[in-house]
Amino acid sequence: MDAIRTEALTKHYRVGFWRPRPYVALDALTLEVRQGEVFGFLGPNGAGKTTTLKLLMQLIYPTSGRAEILGRPVGDVAVRRRIGYLPENPYFYDYLTAEELLDYFASLFGYAAAERRRRVASLLDEVGIGAERRLQLRKFSKGMLQRVGIAQAILNDPEVVFFDEPMSGLDPLGRREVRQLILRLRDRGGTVFFSSHVLSDAETLCSRVAILAEGRLVASGHLSNLLAFQVRGWELVVTGLTEAALERATTLGHIARATPLGAQHYALELPITVAPDGVLSELTACGARLVSLTPVRETLEDYFVRQVADAPRERGLGTGT
């Protein structure tokens, strides 16, 4: 049984006041997410990610198509207890403290007082706001509210969690903490389906991704297998590199471009045809030291720009008037 399945899931919004016309927010999305998977749902702003999550949560209804969670149609009451959801812009009653809010949600799930206290305390620590548990939410930053939202989403030990842009509003440290939390959820056997417009959020986290642009699925699979994101070369940063050694490596065709970063400190671009370890040992033999080695691949942003440029289209359906 899959954790999530959608079949030609489609959503049209009606836009325009005087001449309402359908706008295709999601166009026949077919997707399968397996249990125990961390699945990245990627796409630029306006791609249809939030629309998809809302359809899965039954906050809105599809124009056509179907969706299932844990083998049951979305909206099945028994399934609702087994899932968690972080909305794109979680909004909470400002005058509650983080602790009171989570305690309230825990009571909705029917946990008894002692269990609620235990659960809420451990969740607040897990999302890194244990110290602020008695602070009213109106004093929380966007990043802290995001953490409250995440705590709320995993309060009931859900089997499948839906996170809409869980890293948004977080600084690099916060992003890393959320990444680690997602991996912990996976290690406990959970399925995590999260949306993001940032490729790097997915790179270190996901078994598979789906890429959505303008309401359509444009690619899906393992990120490393998606053609567009295959490594196109290497960037090698070294220090202690003498000009003589650099010149020799360049003449041998091992280096496509050298950007000086400081004295004897360079960022070197290696063509994909050259093995980086060979070049590295050649350079270190001449006294250079490795600072970093990074694969160069297309970014999600570049990919989107190319997708959209390749297939410009109107998202309306035609009015028929």
Ligand X SMILES: Nc1ncnc2c1ncn2[C@@H]1O[C@H](COP(=O)(O)OP(=O)(O)O)[C@@H](O)[C@H]1O
Residue 13 CB, shortest distance to ligand X, in Å, is 3
Looking at the Cβ atoms of 23 and 104, the one nearer to ligand X is 23
Q: What is the dihedral of CA 216, 5, 23, 313, to 10 degrees?
A: 10
Alpha carbons 18 and 42: distance in angstroms, whole number? 34
Q: Of 123, 119, 149, 126, whose CA–CA distance to 137 is shortest?
A: 149
Alpha carbons 52 and 10: distance in angstroms, whole number? 9
Q: Which two tokens stand for residue 239?
A: 């220090």
Does residue 59 interact with ligand X by CB under 6 A?
no
Residue 196 near which of ligand X, Mg ion, none (CB within 5-8 Å, type-dependent) = none
Looking at the Cβ atoms of 52 and 191, the one nearer to Mg ion is 52
Residue 88 CB, shortest distance to ligand X, in Å, is 7
Q: How many residues bind Mg ion (CB under 5 A)?
A: 3
Beta-strand ranges (E) seen in the chain are 4-15, 21-33, 38-42, 64-69, 72-73, 83-86, 160-164, 191-196, 208-213, 216-221, 233-239, 257-262, 265-271, 289-296
Q: What x/- string results for residues 155 through 184 when contact with ligand X is judged by CB under 6 A?
A: ------------------------------
SS3 214: coil
Looking at the Cβ atoms of 68 and 214, the one nearer to ligand X is 214
Does residue 45 interact with ligand X by CB under 6 A?
yes
**Span from 25-33, 48-56, 102-110, 299-307 in contact with Mg ion (CB under 5 A):** 48-56
Residue 41 CB, shortest distance to ligand X, in Å, is 9
Residues in the chain: 321
Residue 178 CB, shortest distance to Mg ion, in Å, is 16
Among 6, 50, 152, 156, binds ligand X (CB under 6 A): 50
Residue 40 CB, shortest distance to ligand X, in Å, is 13
Alpha carbons 83 and 192: distance in angstroms, whole number? 10
Does residue 15 interact with ligand X by CB under 6 A?
yes
Residue 49 CB, shortest distance to Mg ion, in Å, is 5
Does residue 231 interact with ligand X by CB under 6 A?
no
Among 6, 26, 48, 50, binds Mg ion (CB under 5 A): 50
Does residue 49 interact with ligand X by CB under 6 A?
yes
CA distances from 142 to 146, 171, 194, 270 (A): 6, 10, 18, 41
Looking at the Cβ atoms of 45 and 292, the one nearer to ligand X is 45
Alpha carbons 243 and 234: distance in angstroms, whole number? 20
Residue 54 CB, shortest distance to ligand X, in Å, is 8
Residue 209 CB, shortest distance to Mg ion, in Å, is 16
**Span from 46-54, 63-71, 104-112, 171-179 in contact with Mg ion (CB under 5 A):** 46-54
Contacts of 118 (CB under 8 A, 6+ apart): none
CA distances from 173 to 47, 143, 220, 272 (A): 27, 11, 28, 32
Binding residues among 69-128 for Mg ion as defined by CB under 5 A: 88
Taking every pair of Cα atoms in the chain, the longest distance, rounded to a whole number of angstroms, is: 74
Contacts of 268 (CB under 8 A, 6+ apart): 235, 236, 237, 238, 246, 249, 255, 257, 258, 259, 279
Among 48, 143, 166, 233, binds ligand X (CB under 6 A): 48
Binding residues for Mg ion, per CB under 5 A? 49-50, 88
Binding residues for ligand X, per CB under 6 A? 13, 15, 23, 25, 43, 45-51
